[in-house]
Structure formats: C-alpha cells, structure tokens
Amino acid sequence: MNEPPRIGLGIDMHRFEPGRRCVLAGVEFETSVGPVGHSDGDAVLHAACDAVLGAAGLDDLGTLFSDRDPAHAGRDSADFCVEAMTLIAAKGLRVWSMDVVVETEQPKLKPHRAAMRERMAVLFGVDADRVNIKGKTGEKVDAVGRGEACRATVVALLIQAR
C-alpha cells in the first residue's frame, strides 16, 4: 500500500554583516554583506533541510548539527543537505517538490534564481521544475525590511522512494 505524501516546513533567518561571504541556496552572490552563522549561514539550505527532515519526522537541523559543535564551524551547508537526504532515504522517502520564499532587501535574487533552482534540485534529487524560488522584500518592516537580515521559508513534499 502506498503511503500518502508527507509535507514539511522549514524557516531560517540570519542577520547580515558587512564583508561576509553571501551564499543562498548554495549559490554565491557578489554583495557587500553576508549572513552570519556557525556554518556558512545559508538560510535557504538550512530551511530546506528543516523542511525535508520535518516531513520525514526526523530531528531538526540544529539538533542534528549543533552550532555548538566546532566541527560545523564554517561548514558548507550543502553537506547538511547530503546528510539530510541520506536520512530520509533510510526512511524510504524522497523529495518530490520544494517551494521556497527568500525575504531579503539585498542581494536581489532575480539574476540568480535559475542557478538557485538548479543547485537545490541537484542537492535534493529533484528536477529543477519542481523547485520554485520566490524573492520578496521586507517592505521596510523588521530586520529583513531594514536590510539587516534574510529569512527563508521552505515547504517540501516527500513521497515514498521507488
């Protein structure tokens, strides 16, 4: 008997600092600010991992990869995606689709959306047309609207692996 699909939600937010490298959805942006994090601060991949892990009924990213563990300092968030995918595969699941909202005043996502979709598709084992990336601004509200942070929200749909 086929099990019904499973859905997960992930949300992550990182403050920006001048002079930091900016990586979102595994794609590097040329900008004067970047996210602060124990790893590379990629809020999009962090939210995506949490969405996938949540849909599978597994622990969240912070529990599995503690920011208190020096082994994760500066770590490429793509590594977390690979490990999350191994965990969901062990449960007999795979990603079917992802819907991503990235809220930031800068950098502008539009020129990089295709590359972001492609990178996430590779990391999560789906066709690029099953990954949607939307960029939103904060409309001058809260830390995002003031350009002090970025926030990512991801919904992931998982199905049984074949």
pLDDT of residue 148: 96
pLDDT of residue 74: 66
Mean per-residue pLDDT over the chain, rounded = 93
Q: How far is CA 53 from the centre of its chain?
A: 12
Give the start-to-end residue ranges of the domains of the chain: 6-160
Q: Which two tokens stand for residue 6?
A: 């499973």
Q: Which two tokens stand for residue 90?
A: 């062990």
Reduced to 3 states (helix: H, G, I; strand: E, B; else coil), residue 35 is strand
pLDDT tens digits, one per residue of 38-60: 888 999 999 999 999 999 999 99
Question: Contact 149/13 with Cβ under 8 angstroms?
Answer: yes
> What φ, ψ does residue 69 adopt, rounded to 5°?
-90, 115
In whole angstroms, give the CA distance from residue 133 to residue 137. 13
> What φ, ψ does residue 94 adopt, rounded to 5°?
-145, 160
pLDDT tens digits, one per residue of 94-107: 999 999 999 999 99
In whole angstroms, give the CA distance from residue 52 to residue 56. 6
Confidence grade of residue 161 (pLDDT, cut at 50, 70, 90): very high
Torsion angle (degrees, nearest 10) of CA 42, 46, 48, 54:
180
Q: Which two tokens stand for residue 116?
A: 């972001």
We find that the CATH architecture of domain 6-160 is 2-Layer Sandwich (3.30)
Q: Which two tokens stand for residue 16?
A: 């920006």
In whole angstroms, give the CA distance from residue 90 to residue 43. 25
pLDDT tens digits, one per residue of 123-159: 999 999 999 999 999 999 999 999 999 999 999 999 9
In whole angstroms, give the CA distance from residue 106 to residue 74. 22
